[in-house]
C-alpha cells in the first residue's frame, strides 16, 4: 500500500482573537482513515468547508496534523524532519486549485518548472532549463514557453504549468486540490485527460479533491465522501454511484446534474446548511439535515460498518 492514513486529525484554535465570541477548537479534520494503492485514484468529495483541502495539505505536511498517523511507502511521515522529510517530499507533490495564485508572477515558466530540480540538487543551469522544456512538452506546451511569464498564458495553460512543476521530481503521489474547478468545462476535460495520461505513463497515485461529482466519477477508482471533517462513506466508484448508502451521499448524487437520475439515487437536494465546525452537533453530525434520522443519531456518533466488501459507511442504519 502506498499511502496509509489512520485517525488523522487537524485542530485549530478558535478563540483568543479580539473579535472572538468564545474560545475553543475547531476540528477541520476529525479522525480520518483511508488507504491509497500505487497507481490508484481516490476521489474525495464534499461541500465547501468540509475539510478536504486541509486533509490534502496535512498528508503532505504543508499543514502539521494534530494527531493520527501517515505512512507513505512504509515510512511514518509524522516522525520525519529535516533532510529525511525533504527526501520524502520528493515522492509526494500537489497541484493547487488556483493556477493564477499558485505560480510566481515574477518567475519565468522555465524557472518555475525547473525550481524543484534546482532545490533538490538534481539539475542546474542549462540542464535544468532543458529538463523544464521536456516537462512542458510532456504536458502539452511548447518548450519555447520557458522564457514567458504566467500572465501570458490562459487558465488551462497555467494549470498545465502547475502540473509540469508537480511531476518534475517523478512523484508517486499527487494531491490534486480542485485542479479543474477554476477552468471552463472544455478545458476541464483536457486537464483530466492529461492527468489520466500521466497516470498511465508513470503509475502516479492521485488523491483527487473536488466538489464536482461528475469529474470525480470520471477519474476515480474509489470515492470517499466527507462531511464536517470526517468521512461518512467510501466505496469503489461504480458501487458508490450505483448504490449510495449514506443519506448525505444519496443527496449529493441525486442533486448532481446528469448523475442522480441515471443512478436512481433517492433523497433530493441537500437541505439546510452545515453546522459550524466550531460547534458540531452531538451524535451523527449530519442528523440535523437528515430525513432518515433515528433516536441514536442524536446521541452517538456512528462507527464505520461494511455492509458490502469494500463499501464502508458511517450511519446508524447500517451500524
pLDDT in tens, 86-145: 999 899 999 998 888 889 999 999 999 999 999 888 888 889 999 999 999 999 999 889
Q: What is the pLDDT of residues 1-25, one digit of tens each?
A: 999 999 999 999 876 555 555 457 8
Q: Which residues contact 293 (CB under 8 A, 6 or more apart)?
A: 284, 287
59/316 Cα distance (integer angstroms) = 29
Asked whether 5 and 60 are in contact (CB, 8 A), the reply is: no
Instruction: For the chain, list residues with pLDDT below 70.
Output: 15-23, 260-270
Q: Cell for 145?
A: 514557453
Residue pair 181/100 in contact (Cβ under 8 Å)? The answer is no
Torsions phi, psi of 255, nearest 5? -85, -10
d(CA 67, CA 136): 38
Q: 178 with 97: CB under 8 angstroms?
A: yes
Distance CA 1, CA 268 (A): 37
Model-wide pTM > 0.85: yes
Neighbours of 168 (CB within 10 A): 27
pLDDT value at position 264?
Answer: 45
pLDDT value at position 269?
59
Which ranges constitute the DSSP H helices of 121-274? 125-138, 155-166, 185-202, 213-219, 237-242, 247-255, 260-263
Amino acid at each position: 500500500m502506498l499511502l496509509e492514513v489512520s485517525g488523522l486529525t487537524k485542530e485549530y484554535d478558535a478563540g483568543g482573537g479580539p473579535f472572538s465570541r468564545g474560545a475553543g477548537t475547531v476540528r477541520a479534520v476529525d479522525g480520518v482513515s483511508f488507504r491509497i494503492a500505487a497507481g490508484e485514484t481516490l476521489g474525495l468529495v464534499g461541500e465547501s468547508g468540509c475539510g478536504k483541502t486541509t486533509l490534502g495539505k496535512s498528508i503532505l505536511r504543508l499543514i502539521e496534523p494534530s494527531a493520527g498517523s501517515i505512512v507513505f511507502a512504509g515510512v511514518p511521515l509524522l516522525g520525519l524532519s529535516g533532510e529525511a522529510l525533504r527526501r520524502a517530499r520528493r515522492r509526494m507533490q500537489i497541484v493547487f486549485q488556483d493556477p493564477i495564485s499558485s505560480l510566481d508572477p515574477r518567475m519565468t515558466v522555465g524557472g518555475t518548472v525547473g525550481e524543484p530540480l534546482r532545490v533538490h540538487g538534481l539539475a542546474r543551469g542549462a540542464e535544468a532549463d532543458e529538463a523544464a522544456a521536456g516537462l512542458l512538452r510532456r504536458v502539452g506546451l511548447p518548450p519555447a514557453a520557458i522564457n514567458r511569464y504566467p500572465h501570458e498564458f490562459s487558465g488551462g495553460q497555467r494549470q498545465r504549468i502547475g502540473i509540469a512543476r508537480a511531476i518534475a521530481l517523478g512523484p508517486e503521489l499527487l494531491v490534486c486540490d480542485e485542479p479543474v474547478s477554476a477552468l471552463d468545462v472544455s478545458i476541464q476535460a483536457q486537464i483530466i485527460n492529461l492527468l489520466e495520461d500521466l497516470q498511465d505513463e508513470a503509475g502516479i497515485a492521485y488523491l483527487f479533491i473536488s466538489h464536482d461529482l461528475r469529474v470525480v466519477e470520471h477519474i476515480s477508482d474509489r470515492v470517499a465522501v466527507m462531511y464536517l471533517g470526517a468521512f461518512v462513506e467510501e466505496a469503489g466508484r461504480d458501487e458508490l454511484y450505483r448504490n449510495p448508502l449514506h443519506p448525505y451521499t444519496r443527496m449529493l448524487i441525486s442533486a448532481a446534474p446528469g448523475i442522480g437520475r441515471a443512478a436512481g439515487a433517492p433523497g433530493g437536494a441537500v437541505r439546510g446548511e452545515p453546522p459550524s465546525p466550531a460547534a458540531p452537533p452531538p451524535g451523527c453530525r449530519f442528523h440535523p439535515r437528515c430525513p432518515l434520522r433515528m433516536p441514536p443519531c442524536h446521541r452517538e456518533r456512528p462507527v464505520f460498518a461494511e455492509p458490502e466488501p469494500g463499501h464502508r459507511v458511517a450511519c446508524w442504519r447500517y451500524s
